[in-house]
Structure 1
Amino acid sequence: MSSAGFPAGPRRGRVALVASVALTGAVLAGCGAEGSGDAAATFSNRASPPATENFSGEPPSPMASAAESMKAEVKASASAAEASASARASAFEESVSDATERTRQEFEEQLDGAEGQGNAMSEVGLTGKPLSETNGVRAHVVTIRNRTDAPASYAVQVDFSDADGKVVETRIVGAQDLAPGERAQPLAISRKPVEPQLTAKIVKAQRY
């Protein structure tokens, strides 16, 4: 018997049981705390990086994007310059030329039917005009002189070539019903910008 009046054995058993339950609760609480800590570590408010495995290729670099933008600007500027040059050339041509669409078609037909460089290369010449006299338009004087003993008409083709010798523009002019010894000086007017420089050359002349 114990001093409290209860048998010693059962009391010890109850004490051991209470201690065991308390220890188990502490262990479980500890595990729960650890689990909560892991869960807190698992979730985050930060955005996840994109899944790059779903994409192919590489995004354009800032330098590449700038280069493409510069190319577009240069192309647009060149197009605007060419349009402006064409408009000025058209206005200048209208102010100095008396050729009609019908006469131009006639000249073209005569040149299409010519053999080689035509039969009148020795009767034509080419001289450039200063830009100050043409409102900044590239223009060349085509001098035509009838060196025969009978009235004649002439059709002349002028090609404009770049520094590589590539023909970038062709202009056709002419003169009708020139008397023997008479001279005419139509203008071959380029519709291209004055830069880069182009070389003008008479490539065909036909007397008819």
Structure 2
Amino acid sequence: MNQSPERLSRPVRSRAATAAAAVVLVALGATAVVSCDSGGDDTSGPTFSERPTPPITESFSGAAPSAIASSASAVVESARASASSAAASASAREASRKASIGTEIERSRRAAEDALKDVQGRGNALDQVALTGKPRAGADGVTTAVVSITNKTQDTASYAVQVDFIDSAGEVVETQFVGEEDLAPGERRQPLVISRQPPEPVLTARLTKAQRY
């Protein structure tokens, strides 16, 4: 039996619509596979999130590298300045301490010289004073003597000592004075006497006077 063209076209259109719907379903299924993690063992396919995750900024300071470097440099310079200031302060304190010691030594020397000015003979305390040479190697080659003063009396006393430096011919080249004040009974002190002459020729220290007062 012959069919009309209109009736023949209906199955064709129906089959075309069915095929198009199938294509759409396949495409949707593929998209679902790509977008979702099935949780299975097959990890060969890439997974993508629907939108990008914003960066985490809590762990960053927000300062530019140049600003951080500048801050570190400032800290280093501050530390250097503090160290330099501390060193200068320590140097100043040491210089002040040495100046104070030098002033006290000079005062003591003058007091000893004054105490021996009118002493006749060798004084009254030679038996309480001893003289020991100090190695020249430990004194930059300069003749140095250790004066040991011991108060052997029962009372507090002060002492003045004269030391002469003599050359190989026995001639006095230099005279130095040293003193110690207010030594308690039995107390001993050991001031130094240092020659101001050059290391050569070699000189010898000699105990000349010792006075207790």
The corresponding residue for 2:210 is 205
CA distance in 2, matches of 1:162, 1:96: 30
Q: Given the superposition, is the C-alpha separation of residues 140 and 97 from structure 1 closer, same or farther in structure 2, using an over 3 Å criterion?
A: farther
The corresponding residue for 1:12 is none
Q: Given the superposition, is the C-alpha separation of residues 194 and 145 from structure 1 closer, same or farther in structure 2, using an over 3 Å criterion?
A: same
What is the alpha-carbon root mean square deviation over aligned residues? 2.1
1:119: how far off?
0.5
Secondary structure of 2:127's counterpart equals helix
Q: Given the superposition, is the C-alpha separation of residues 131 and 94 from structure 1 closer, same or farther in structure 2, using an over 3 Å criterion?
A: farther
Question: What is the TM-score of this pair, normalised by structure 1?
Answer: 0.52
CA distance in 2, matches of 1:152, 1:189: 24
CA distance in 1, matches of 2:99, 2:137: 18
- Indicate whether 1:155 and 2:166 are aligned: no
CA distance in 2, matches of 1:176, 1:165: 31
* Bigger shift: residues 99-108 or 179-188: 99-108
1:1-208 paired onto structure 2 within 5 Å: 99-208=104-213
Q: Given the superposition, is the C-alpha separation of residues 186 and 98 from structure 1 closer, same or farther in structure 2, using an over 3 Å criterion?
A: farther
Kept after mapping to 2: 8 A contact 1:171/1:188: yes
Secondary structure of 1:159's counterpart equals strand
Q: Which runs of 4+ in 1 moved over 4 A?
A: 93-98
CA distance in 2, matches of 1:165, 1:201: 10
Kept after mapping to 2: 8 A contact 1:147/1:180: yes
1:96: how far off?
7.6
The corresponding residue for 1:34 is none
1:118: how far off?
0.6
> Over residues 158-182 of structure 1, what are the superposed CA-to-partner deviations in whole Å (9 max), with x where a residue is unaligned?
0011111110000100111000000
Amino acid of the structure 1 residue aligned with 2:178 = V
> Over residues 62-109 of structure 1, what are the superposed CA-to-partner deviations in whole Å (9 max), with x where a residue is unaligned?
xxxxxxxxxxxxxxxxxxxxxxxxxxxxxxx97986734332221111
Q: Given the superposition, is the C-alpha separation of residues 98 and 176 from structure 1 closer, same or farther in structure 2, using an over 3 Å criterion?
A: farther
Amino acid of the structure 2 residue aligned with 1:135 = D
CA distance in 2, matches of 1:206, 1:200: 18
Secondary structure of 2:112's counterpart equals helix
Q: Which runs of 5+ in 2 are unaligned?
A: 1-97
Kept after mapping to 1: 8 A contact 2:143/2:202: no
Question: What is the TM-score of this pair, normalised by structure 2?
Answer: 0.50
Using the aligned pairs only, state the percent identity: 55
Amino acid of the structure 2 residue aligned with 1:162 = D
Amino acid of the structure 1 residue aligned with 2:204 = T
Secondary structure of 2:104's counterpart equals coil
> Over residues 128-151 of structure 1, what are the superposed CA-to-partner deviations in whole Å (9 max), with x where a residue is unaligned?
111232233221000000000000
Kept after mapping to 2: 8 A contact 1:97/1:186: no
The corresponding residue for 1:67 is none
1:193: how far off?
1.6
CA distance in 2, matches of 1:146, 1:176: 11
Count matched residues: 116
Larger of the two Rg values belongs to structure: 2
Amino acid of the structure 1 residue aligned with 2:146 = V
CA distance in 2, matches of 1:97, 1:150: 29
Query: Which of 1 and 2 has higher RCO (CA within 8 Å, sep 6+)?
Result: 1
